[in-house]
Amino acid sequence: MANLPHCDFVPSKYEGPSKEEVQKLRGEYLTPALMTYYKDPIMIVDGHMQYLFDETGKRYLDSIAGIVTISAGHCHPRVMKAVNEQNSRLQHTTTIYLHPNIATFAEKLTSTLPDGLDVVYFTNSGSEANDLAILMARAYTKNYDVIALRNAYHGGSQGAMGLTAHSNWKYSVPHGFGILHAATPNRYRGHFGYDDPESGEKYAQDVQDLIQRGSSGGIAGFIAEPIQGVGGIIEMPPNYLQDAYKYVRGAGGICIADEVQTGFGRTGENFWGFENNNVIPDMVVMAKGIGNGCPLGAVVTTKEIAQSMTEAIHFNTFGGNPVSCAQGLASLEVILEDDMQGNAKRLGNKLIGGLDDLQAKFECIGDVRGKGLMVGIELIEDKDKTPATKLTNDILETCKDMGLLVGKGGFYGNVLRITPPMCLTEEDIDFMLEVLDEVFAKETK
C-alpha cells in the first residue's frame, strides 16, 4: 500500500463541532444546491502546503487545490506572514484613497504579461472578472455579440453563466444575452481527432462560420480558456486560437483569455496558458490561483481598451482590497522566487509520463491529457468511449481512502482532474501514481 511522503507539520488539535453536527447544520441552513464529494463527505480543517488534514488529523495529498485555486501552497508561510501583517494593520478602505498594495501588485502582475497588457481591474472572483471583461469588450468595440465555446465554464453570475456552456451549471432563466457558442475543439470526442494535423484550423472555421452566419457580422469579443478546466481538461489544438483570434479580430472583436485555471505557471511550459498557443490576447481574466485561496480576481487589458470604461465610474467595493492584494502579491512573489512554473513543468512531465504507462495497462483510461500540473484522465467503459461515470466516482472514493484527493470534471463527470498546489514534490507524484495504479487495479478487476 502506497505511503504518503513524510511531512513534519502537525496540525493543531481540532476542538470544534463534530463532522456530524456540521453536516446537520449544513443540511438545515445552507442551500440544497451545494454538492459535496464522496458518499461520506470529509471535513477539512487544516492545510499545509500540498497537504490537507481532516478533523481527526488524517492527512491527504491535495490534488485538486480547492478547484485549481491553491497555487503556492495551503497557508504558505511567506504568504501568511504578508497577509497577517496586513490584516492587523488595515483591512479595508476601498479605492477612494491611495494604498500601496493595489498599486505595487498591479505593477508586479503586469510584469508577467506581454508588453501592452498593462492595465489591471481587480475583482473578487472569476465570474465578476468575466462579467467585467465582456462589459469592456462591448464598451470598447461598440459591438454586442460575444463568442464563447461550448463546454466552457466561465462562472455562475448572471453574465458569466451566459458564457458557460454546460447544462449542468445553467438555469433555465434569461441570461447572457448576445452570447454565441462555437464548437468545442475536443480532439478526443469531436469531429476532428488527434490524428488530424489540421484539427485546430478546422475547429476554428466554426468560429468564422458563427461570425458570418450566426452574428451580425461584427462582434465584441471571443473568450476561451487555453485549456478548458471544468469541461474536463480540453486543450486547444495547435493553431486553433491563432486562427480563431484572426477571424475575431477581422470582425472587429477583441480576444479574451480566461486564465482563471491555466495562469500563474500551472501549465509549466509558460507562465500563461495563451503563451502555449502562440497568441497574445487583448484581455486576460484571472482568479483562483492569483490569490492562493483568497477571494481575488482581475482583468488585465491594454490602455486603449481600458479607456473605454471611463465613460462612467466603475466601482467595486472590495476589488483591490489591501488584504487581498497583500495575499496576491506575496503569492506571486513565492510562485516566481520558488520557480513553481519550473516545478509544474518537471513534475507535470513525470505525472503525465506515469499516467501514459497506466493508460497502457488499464483499458478504462481512454485519454490522458493536459499540461504541467493541469492534467485530465478520461475514463471510458468500452471502445465506443461510453463515459465511465460510476467508475470515476468509485476511483475518487478509493483514492480518498488511501490519502489522495483527486478532482473530477467533464460533461459526464468521467474525467479525473489532477491540479495540485504547485509546491508538491517528486515523492508526492510517486505516491499519486502508486495510489492510482493500486486503485485502478482494484476498481477494474
Residue 150 β-bridge partners: none
Q: Which of 113, 75, 65, 78 is nearest to 330 (CA)?
A: 78
Q: Interface with ligand PMP by CB under 6 A: which range of 41-49, 254-262, 330-338, 403-411?
A: 254-262
Q: Which amino acid is at 278?
A: N
Selected binder of ligand PMP within 46, 131, 145, 258 (CB under 6 A): 258
The DSSP code sequence of 311-379 is GS----SSTT-HHHHHHHHHHHHHHHHTTHHHHHHHHHHHHHHHHHHHHHH-TTEEEEEEETTEEEEEE
Selected binder of ligand PMP within 53, 121, 140, 153 (CB under 6 A): 153
For the segment 259-278, give every residue that binds ligand PMP (CB under 6 A).
260-261
CA atoms within 13 Å, Cβ hemisphere of 175: 18
Q: Which is nearer to ligand PMP, 252 or 295 (CB)?
A: 295
CA 363 from centroid of its chain's CA atoms: 28
C-beta nearest to ligand PMP: residue: 126
Q: Does 231 bind ligand PMP (CB under 6 A)?
A: no
Selected binder of ligand PMP within 63, 127, 199, 267 (CB under 6 A): 127
Mask 280-299, x = binds ligand PMP (CB under 6 A)?
A: -------x------------
Q: Which of 140, 192, 138 is nearest to 162 (CA)?
A: 138
Q: Which is nearer to ligand PMP, 159 or 237 (CB)?
A: 159
Q: Interface with ligand PMP by CB under 6 A: which range of 223-231, 247-255, 356-364, 432-440?
A: 223-231
Pairing of strands 219-224, 145-149: parallel
Q: Which of 415, 419, 126 is nearest to 268 (CA)?
A: 419
For the segment 156-175, give every residue that binds ligand PMP (CB under 6 A).
none
Q: Which of 260, 225, 227 is nearest to 128 (CA)?
A: 260
Q: Which is nearer to ligand PMP, 130 or 392 (CB)?
A: 130
> Which regions of 7-118 does DSSP assign to beta strands (E)?
44-48, 51-54, 59-62
Q: Which is nearer to ligand PMP, 234 or 433 (CB)?
A: 234
Q: Does 419 bind ligand PMP (CB under 6 A)?
A: no
What Å distances lie between residue 152 and 120, 164, 231, 409, CA to CA?
24, 5, 6, 12
Query: Cβ of residue 225: shortest distance to ligand PMP, in angstroms?
Result: 5
Q: Which is nearer to ligand PMP, 126 or 281 (CB)?
A: 126
Q: Interface with ligand PMP by CB under 6 A: which range of 132-140, 149-157, 212-220, 336-344?
A: 149-157
Q: Interface with ligand PMP by CB under 6 A: which range of 81-89, 150-158, 166-174, 240-248?
A: 150-158
What is the CA angle 181-182-186, rounded to 5?
120
- Dist CA 393 CA 414 (whole Å): 8
Q: Interface with ligand PMP by CB under 6 A: which range of 27-35, 212-220, 242-250, 255-263?
A: 255-263
Q: Which of 305, 258, 284 is nearest to 141 (CA)?
A: 305
Q: Does 154 bind ligand PMP (CB under 6 A)?
A: yes
Q: Which is nearer to ligand PMP, 48 or 266 (CB)?
A: 266
Q: Which is nearer to ligand PMP, 271 or 440 (CB)?
A: 271
Q: Which of 380, 371, 383, 360 is nearest to 437 (CA)?
A: 360
Query: Cβ of residue 272: shortest distance to ligand PMP, in angstroms?
Result: 13
Q: Which is nearer to ligand PMP, 46 or 259 (CB)?
A: 259
Selected binder of ligand PMP within 46, 55, 206, 225 (CB under 6 A): 225
Query: Cβ of residue 386: shortest distance to ligand PMP, in angstroms?
Result: 26
Q: Does 155 bind ligand PMP (CB under 6 A)?
A: yes
Cell representation of residue 33: 444546491
Q: Does 433 bind ligand PMP (CB under 6 A)?
A: no
- Dist CA 295 CA 304 (whole Å): 28
**3-class SS of residue 214:** helix
Q: Which residues contact ligand PMP (rule: CB under 6 A)? A: 67, 125-127, 130, 153-155, 225, 229-230, 258, 260-261, 287
